[in-house]
Every structure is written in C-alpha cells, then in structure tokens.
Amino acid sequence: MDSGANPERFKLELHGPFCLGCGRPGRVKERRATMQVKPDGRGGAVRYLQLRVRRECWTPGCRFWHRSWTDYQPGDYPRRKYRLELALAVVEALGEFGSTLSSVARWFGLNRRTVGRLIGWTKGIDTVEGAAMKCAQVDPTVLPPAEPPAPNPPRASRPSAALEKLFQARHLVLLLEHLASLLRGHGVALEQGPGLVVLLRNQFNRWGEVFFVTDRSPPSLRIPWPPGSPAS
C-alpha cells in the first residue's frame, strides 16, 4: 500500500462485526447516530440518521485485543458525512442549464461552501488526462468521452478558476462512468451503480484507500486491472 494508510487498521475496518484476529464478534464500544445526506432519486436530497457502531476485540490473547474498529455496513464509505452519490448528484445538477452554485445548494439543502467542496473533491479523484489514460489502458480502441458542453457559457473569455474546476469535475464524472463500463465489459466484477461510486468503493474494499474531503487522500484512482490481478 503506497498511500501511507495503515493496512492493518483498514483490514479491521473492513471486517464488519467480526474481529480479524479471533473471528469473534467485537464488543460494541460506542454507538453514534450521525446525520447523513443522500440523493432522493428525484433530483433532491434527504437527510437521515445513520447509526455508526464502533467495536473492539474482547478476547484475551487475540492479537487485536482492545483494538477497536468501525463496523462498516456494505455500501458504506468511511469517514464521510456525505455519501458518494451526493457529490455525484451535485456535480450533475450543476451541469444543468441555468443552475448556479446557490440554486444547487438550495435544492440539496446544503450551503454553498459544501457544494464547492464537493466539486473540488470530485475533481481531486483523478486528473482528466489520468482518467482518460486509464480508459485507454483497459481498451485503447474506444475513444473516451470528450468534455461535456458548458450549460451556461462563461461570460468572460476565460472561465473563472471555480468554473474550470466544475468543468473538470463534470468531465471526470463522464470518464469514470466510461471507465467502469469498459471494466465491466472486460470482465471486471464491479457492483451496480454510477462509475464514480463503484470505482471508489472498489478501491476502498480492495486496497483500503479512501478519498477524504478534507484529509489526505491516496495519490490517485486505482483501477482493478487486469481482471483477476491479486489485491495488494
């Protein structure tokens, strides 16, 4: 693992309720309800409470004795207040004609700063060039999608830095969708869902690497390629 993450910690995190050392269910150490936001499937968002459970090994002699971990449920992505799907929905909504940072923030019940952060986070998953190269690595015969047209043409001759970030995030979303579909077409088993979401979850499930909003993230997106390659 080259991200600086602690692989052993992630292995524990990935093990659900059972301790990796002794195989017994960990003792519940803490239950905490956290507010989450997710898309409602109709273009808006809903808020809901999610219970996060921390467990610890309570078996004397186990190498993980007294070590604790978060019991992540399938589909969870660690240490994020917002679900991956929400970042995607925000970037997509900003691609619609007439939308602004403020209108999208209002629509999803977020503040403008959060919307800006989600765009920056999406853009930070990979560079457009890097994602296009990964597509070509999987299948060099298919051209990756070009940058989507700007829904609101910038008034100035050069788009602002914020707008440039949004363009890159939108393009990256398309490329990740394309990459996921290429991988599926070439025999890589990915869960159902949008490219951005399934590729990031795959990276977490396989390598324990998480793209944080405010914390240090792995250097770049990894692709599970070629199929059947052993997880590190």
Backbone angles phi, psi at 71, to 5 degrees: -85, 90
Select from 5, 14, 22, 213 the one that contacts Zn ion (CB under 5 A): 22
CB of 27 to Zn ion, least distance (A): 10
- Contact between 21 and Zn ion per CB under 5 A: yes
Cα distance between residue 183 and residue 229, in whole Å? 13
- Contact between 163 and Zn ion per CB under 5 A: no
* CB atoms closer than 10 angstroms to residue 176: 25
DSSP for 138-202, written as a single string: H-TTSPPPPPPPPSS--SSSS--HHHHHHHHHHHHHHHHHHHHHHHHHTT----SS-HHHHHHHH
- Contact between 220 and Zn ion per CB under 5 A: no
Per-residue contact flags (x/-) with Zn ion for residues 43 to 82, judged by CB under 5 A: --------------x-x--x-x------------------
Beta-strand (E) ranges in the chain?
27-39, 45-56, 68-70
CB of 19 to Zn ion, least distance (A): 3
Q: Which segment (21-29, 102-110, 160-168, 187-195) binds Zn ion by CB under 5 A?
A: 21-29
- Contact between 19 and Zn ion per CB under 5 A: yes
Q: Which residues bind Zn ion (CB under 5 A)?
A: 19, 21-22, 57, 59, 62, 64
